[in-house]
Amino acid sequence: MMNRFQYFLFKNKLPLTAGLLSGVMTGTSYIPFPPWAILFNFVPLWWFWLYRATSRKQILMSGLLAQFVFNLIGFHWVFHTAHEFGRLPLPISLAVLLLFALLAHVYVPLVGLAIFELKKRLKLNDKNLSPLVTYSFLVILCGLWCLAEIYWPYIFQWNMGYTLLWARFPLFHGADIIGFQGLSLILLLFNALVLTFIPSHFSLRHCLRGLSFALLGFLTLNAGSWFYGKAWTENYKPTQTIRFLPVQANIGNTEKIMAERGLGFQDFILDRFISLSEKALSEHPEADVLVWPESAIPDYLDQEYSNRRRPKKIKTFLSQTQKGLITGAYSRESLFSKGFPSSSLEKSYNALFAFDADGTLSSPPYRKHQLLAFGEYTPFAQWFPYLNEISPSGVGFSPGPGPSVIDYSFFKFAPQICYESLYPDLNRHSVLLGAQILINITNDSWFGTGFEPQQHLSMTFARAIENRRPLLRVTNTGITSAIDASGIILTQSPIYQEWSDIITLSYEETPKLTLFTRYGGYLPVFVVLMTLGGLASVLLRRRY
């Protein structure tokens, strides 16, 4: 029976089987699936690289197929986004998805090629690959893979570490020490541990033995992390609270596109937010601050525009309710005021504004720094302006200056706009500036009801655990939610429905910095040293 199984899987040493297996296991272990294969999802691919690949072509085929399949499963919503946001015909949207799946994570076959060449140069083969040498060599593979995850130019930055928070494995508490990228490295090392027990003559018995050791180690780490998280929660003594009232208005994409292009609907959208906020305040008059999502108001709200109709309407509403407001809108910077000769030279930004209860701006707006390629700007358009004419984003936005903290009323918060929450260093530096709370405003309406809202939510919550700061996330169409510093999720809104509710966040007035917040930037250094250590071990222990 086992011989037939081996023949089916590995006949003719085809790389396609290994790539397909790893691609399927990775894609079906990522959010929102249960992470059933996170300890061995890369084992088929790596086993093929280590023992069966005989040419660069086979490495490329297996690596490309693996990343193509897990991209197709995990990021199938790119098809919906291309059709909904880009207004592309269905066949072209499908072509965009297939191209994305083929190219998004090409680092997979590139790492495979590096390992293949290194194995040849070190003259490693079945005879001199003892278990210790095998694991040391796989440590090199894990290090290169992790560095690729850190530095690869993603459109959507992700790693398998986020599955731990999604599935509520206690190991996620370790993110305040090594970050979710560090947790991803641990999962890679568990894959390497399983593979160490599987020799070149693949057998189910060896596979189960390796999986048993990995599972035992994984359970041990989770047990330790549970006690660590429990101890941290018991020592966490928040002294301040604030009652947020998020408003999820569920504005349709057609209305937003028309408003953003200046074709009407600006007043309709603003009136919708005001009326929903009035209704929410009648039910929750105890609220301290209203929060509206990203680009909730498709208009400029800078101080110099305060006398225009829509900014004045917001000011009147806030003066009447005596509530503060944090909202997404647009910001504009005129370069003429900085000495440029033409008043037409202006920069526009996707921004967050914080208004006091009397309707005045409490601080300059936060301008989004990490822009979404093809959604908020067009890559290479500075050299090829024609690209702006054919891109869905048009001229798009300019990037803001970077990490920031808004000193608002009686608390300080680090602003995130949409997928800025996917960047650990950006948020880490905001916390280093003194943030007590993280606030994320998002519009996920372009991505449909599939996997993306769940993926984006968990990846946003990850920043709260890494920095041990409560986080509020407010969206246009869902999922609006919040998580406290100990990892407890407070509430979640439905998707594609109007919704509002009081969310009370507790926070420390002078919160401590986590190890990740202080030293998270050194993870690449550690990975490099680990990789060099693996190489040194191979050189010292290999047998000729």
pLDDT in tens, 308-324: 888 999 999 999 999 99
Is 420 an annotated catalytic residue? no
Position with higher pLDDT, 87 vs 354: 354
Mean predicted confidence (pLDDT) in 286-298: 94
Marked catalytic residue, from 146, 368, 412, 420: 368
pLDDT band, very low/low/confident/very high, at 264 (cuts 50, 70, 90): low
Find out whether 138 and 515 touch, Cβ atoms under 8 Å.
Answer: no
Catalytic pick among 149, 294, 452, 466: 294
Q: Which residues pair with 348 in a beta bridge?
A: 332
Q: Which of 418, 420, 452, 466 is catalytic?
A: 418
Q: So what's the pLDDT on residue 541?
A: 75
pLDDT of res. 480? 96
Burial class (CB in 10 A: 0-12, 13-18, 19+), 11: exposed
Tokens of 161: 């570490």
| 84 is an active site residue | no
Region of poorest pLDDT, from 213-227, 230-244, 263-277, 455-469: 263-277
Count each helix (H run) and each strand (E run) in the chain, helices first: 19, 13
Average pLDDT over residues 94-111: 95
Is it the case that residue 438 has pLDDT exceeding 90? Answer: yes
Return d(Cα 181, Cα 157) in angstroms, integer: 10
pLDDT band at 345 (very low <50, low <70, confident <90, very high): low
Task: List the structure tokens of 144.
Answer: 């290169």
One-letter amino acid of 194 = V
Residue-wise pLDDT tens digits, 422-431: 999 999 999 9
Pull the structure tokens for residue 466: 């890494």
Number of other CB atoms surrounding residue 87 within 10 Å: 12
pLDDT band at 392 (very low <50, low <70, confident <90, very high): low
Say whether pLDDT at 540 is over 90: no
Note the pLDDT of residue 518. Answer: 96
Mean pLDDT for 379-398 is: 66
175 vs 478 pLDDT, higher one: 175
CATH class of 240-507: alpha beta
418 catalytic, yes or no? Answer: yes
174 phi/psi in degrees, rounded to 5: -70, -5
Query: pLDDT higher for 182 or 337?
Result: 182
Q: How far apart are the first and last CA of the chain?
A: 36
Q: Decide which of 543 and 213 is more confident.
A: 213
Q: What is the mean pLDDT of residues 381-409?
A: 76
Confidence (pLDDT) at 1: 45
C-alpha distances in Å from residue 33, one per residue of 30, 50, 166: 6, 29, 9
pLDDT tens per residue, range 29-87: 999 999 999 999 999 999 999 999 999 999 999 999 999 999 999 999 999 888 877 77
Q: What pLDDT is stored for residue 298 in this prediction?
A: 86
The residue-averaged pLDDT of 231-253 equals 92
Token digits of residue 106: 């090409």
pLDDT of 204 reads: 81
The number of residues in the chain equals 544
Q: Give the pair of three-digit tokens for residue 102.
A: 């083929």
188 vs 207, residue with greater confidence: 188
Lowest pLDDT segment from 124-133, 425-434, 486-495, 498-507 = 124-133
Q: What is the mean pLDDT of residues 265-287?
A: 92
In order, the DSSP letters of 467-533 are HT--EEEEESSS--EEE-TTS-EEEEPPSSS-EE--EEEEE-SSPPPPHHHHHGGGHHHHHHHHHHH
Contact 405, 412 (CB under 8 A): yes
Burial of 510 (0-12, 13-18, 19+ CB in 10 A): exposed
More confident residue, 260 or 502: 502
Task: Compute CA distances 43 → 3, 173, 353, whole Å.
Answer: 19, 26, 48
